């Protein structure tokens, strides 16, 4: 939770500074870079989840690092190839088609720069994701969180210093790339300390098992991108850089309702996965009941705070002029993220059981419908229609709760030893 909260807190403090130095339009381009880099989550979601699953299951079976090494090497190979292809595609889109796709952005000369920076960052973050996921698969959440918090702090400070020295996007983008590279090197060092000396040469010899899980995660990643990234691309394309700035700032606050809960409860995934392999005593019903109750309480409190004090927070944060249009869309985004937070527990439990196919199909379908609804809403009523896509997505993904409800109705025994019959070796009829 500290890891996930820390970066938004840094942005909360630093956004007024960046807005004053860069101006609304250049800040909008930075948000466009963030959205473009976020497209890498298509691969991150699948490869990261597969790495967590492989590492946690291997440690549950043998407590040996031999299988961990094979999984990490395969994930590195997949990340290098996938990140390179996606980065090249992103560069090509911005360089050759940027003016046509994003003509409403005020300065098309900045689009090629944004494309180059996005391509480099996507490739770096694919590798970064492998080492973070390996640490989380071993349930070393503290190590992963500390290095992420430190690197995000350095990133924001470096970016602030860069725009202070030269308030232009070239300097800012260079600072972001340098910090991302240093963060990757640091994570490799920490992971090696956790597991001992692992051979990190890329290898496809163990890629089959990773790919069998990751392919459905990639499908889910497409849905995640449609929900969390394509919406900003759509706002920038249809409404321009200023509207993108207002929408992005409102999203930064509202998304914390879901992000804080998702961060704290992400530990469920590797713990359930490991327990299935260890054949250990573990009450799934008790964990589900407690985590869902805590999640509902936390997300509701955060939502009420933002609904009641949101306009005042925005006025203090970014000034009254920018707070006006931002306050219009924020309540609707708060409602959408509160709904989305309700599916956090079933999402991680289903991944722990290996039900990534069901999760992937659900998220993809929700993303497609959501972005379609958002397009028509923006075309009809402008910026106020932007939250529609996120609301539709949140409603549709609530279907993730259904398999758990059915499972608990059919199984009165809470012992995870009984749950092994619906582990990763089967399609899990009772969960589908």
C-alpha 148/C-alpha 284 separation (Å) is 30
Instruction: Specify which of 22-31, 43-52, 395-404 reaches the highest per-range mean pLDDT.
Output: 395-404
Q: How far apart are CA 99 and CA 96, in angstroms?
A: 8
pLDDT band, residue 144 (cuts 50/70/90):
confident
Choose between 157 and 379: higher pLDDT: 157
**How many beta carbons lie within 10 A of that of residue 365, not counting itself?**
16
Residue 380 CA to its chain's centroid (Å): 29
Query: Looking at residue 120, what is its pLDDT?
Result: 92
pLDDT of 122 higher than 70: yes
Residue 407 has pLDDT above 50, yes or no: yes
pLDDT band, very low/low/confident/very high, at 271 (cuts 50, 70, 90) = confident
pTM listed for this prediction: 0.68
- In sequence order, the 6+-apart residues with CB closer than 8 A to the CB of 364 are 219, 220, 222, 223, 226
| CB distance 235 to 48 below 8 Å | no
Q: How many CB atoms lie within 10 A of CB 389?
A: 28
Per-residue pLDDT band at 376 (split at 50, 70, 90) = confident
* Domain ranges across the chain: 2-431
Lowest mean pLDDT segment, chosen from 56-65, 183-192, 383-392: 56-65
Q: Can you name the residues that pair with 374 across neighbouring β-strands?
A: none
Distances (CA, A) of 213 to 75, 122, 354: 12, 21, 8
- Reduced to 3 states (helix: H, G, I; strand: E, B; else coil), residue 397 is helix
Nearest residue to 161 (alpha-carbon basis) of 146, 179, 143, 145: 179
Predicted local confidence at residue 105, as pLDDT: 57
d(CA 183, CA 144): 11
Provide the residue count of the chain.
432
Q: Determine the average pLDDT of the residues in 167-196.
A: 89
User: Band of the pLDDT at 124, cuts 50, 70, 90?
Assistant: very high
How much of the chain, in percent, has pLDDT values that exceed 90?
Answer: 12
Average pLDDT, the chain: 81
Give the CA distances from residue 234 to residues 96, 228, 231, 357, 387, in Å, rounded to whole numbers and listed in that order: 18, 11, 5, 28, 12
Q: How confident is the model at residue 133 (pLDDT cuts 50, 70, 90)?
A: confident
Backbone angles phi, psi at 373, to 5 degrees: -65, -35
* pLDDT tens, position by position, 296-345: 999 999 999 999 888 888 887 777 777 777 788 888 889 989 999 999 99
Cα→Cα distances 286→351, 385, 391, Å: 18, 40, 30
Q: How confident is the model over 218-265, as pLDDT tens digits?
A: 777 777 766 666 777 778 778 877 778 788 888 888 888 888 888 888
């Amino acid at each position: 939770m500290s890891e996930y909260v820390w970066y938004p807190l840094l942005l909360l403090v630093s956004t007024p500074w960046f807005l004053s130095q860069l101006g609304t339009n250049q800040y909008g381009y930075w948000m466009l870079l963030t959205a473009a880099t976020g497209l890498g989550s298509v691969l991150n979601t699948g490869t990261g989840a597969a790495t967590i699953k492989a590492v946690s299951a291997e440690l549950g079976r043998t407590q040996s690092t031999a299988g961990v090494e094979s999984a990490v090497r395969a994930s590195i190979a997949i990340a290098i190839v996938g990140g390179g292809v996606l980065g090249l595609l992103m560069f090509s889109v911005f360089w050759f088609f940027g003016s046509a796709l994003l003509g409403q952005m005020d300065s098309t000369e900045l689009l090629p720069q944004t494309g180059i920076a996005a391509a480099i960052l996507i490739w770096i973050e694919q590798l970064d994701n492998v080492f973070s996921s390996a640490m989380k698969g071993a349930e070393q959440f503290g190590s992963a969180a500390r290095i992420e918090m430190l690197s995000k702090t350095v990133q924001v400070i470096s970016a602030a210093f860069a725009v202070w020295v030269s308030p232009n996007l070239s300097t800012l983008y260079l600072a972001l790339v340098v910090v991302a590279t240093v963060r990757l090197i640091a994570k490799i060092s920490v992971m090696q300390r956790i597991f001992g000396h692992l051979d990190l040469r890329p290898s496809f010899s163990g890629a089959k098992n990773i790919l069998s899980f990751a392919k459905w995660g990639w499908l889910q990643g497409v849905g995640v991108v449609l929900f969390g990234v394509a919406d900003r691309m759509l706002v920038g394309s249809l409404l321009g850089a200023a509207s993108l700035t207002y929408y992005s700032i409102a999203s930064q606050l509202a998304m914390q309702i879901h992000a804080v809960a998702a961060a704290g409860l992400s530990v469920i995934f590797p713990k359930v996965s490991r327990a299935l392999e260890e054949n250990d005593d573990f009450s799934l019903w008790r964990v589900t009941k407690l985590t869902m109750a805590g999640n509902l309480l936390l997300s509701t409190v955060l939502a009420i705070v933002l609904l009641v004090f949101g306009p005042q927070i925005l006025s203090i944060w970014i000034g009254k002029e920018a707070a006006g249009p931002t306050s219009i869309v924020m309540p609707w985004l708060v409602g959408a993220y509160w709904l989305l937070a309700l599916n956090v527990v079933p999402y991680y439990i289903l991944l722990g059981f290996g039900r990534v196919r069901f999760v992937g199909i659900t998220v993809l379908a929700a993303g497609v419908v959501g972005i379609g609804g958002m397009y028509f809403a923006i075309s009809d009523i402008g910026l106020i229609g932007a939250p529609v896509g996120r609301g539709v997505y949140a409603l549709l993904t609530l279907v993730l709760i259904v398999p758990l409800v059915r499972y608990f109705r059919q199984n009165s025994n809470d012992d995870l030893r009984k749950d092994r019959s619906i582990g990763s070796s089967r399609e899990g009829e009772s969960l589908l």
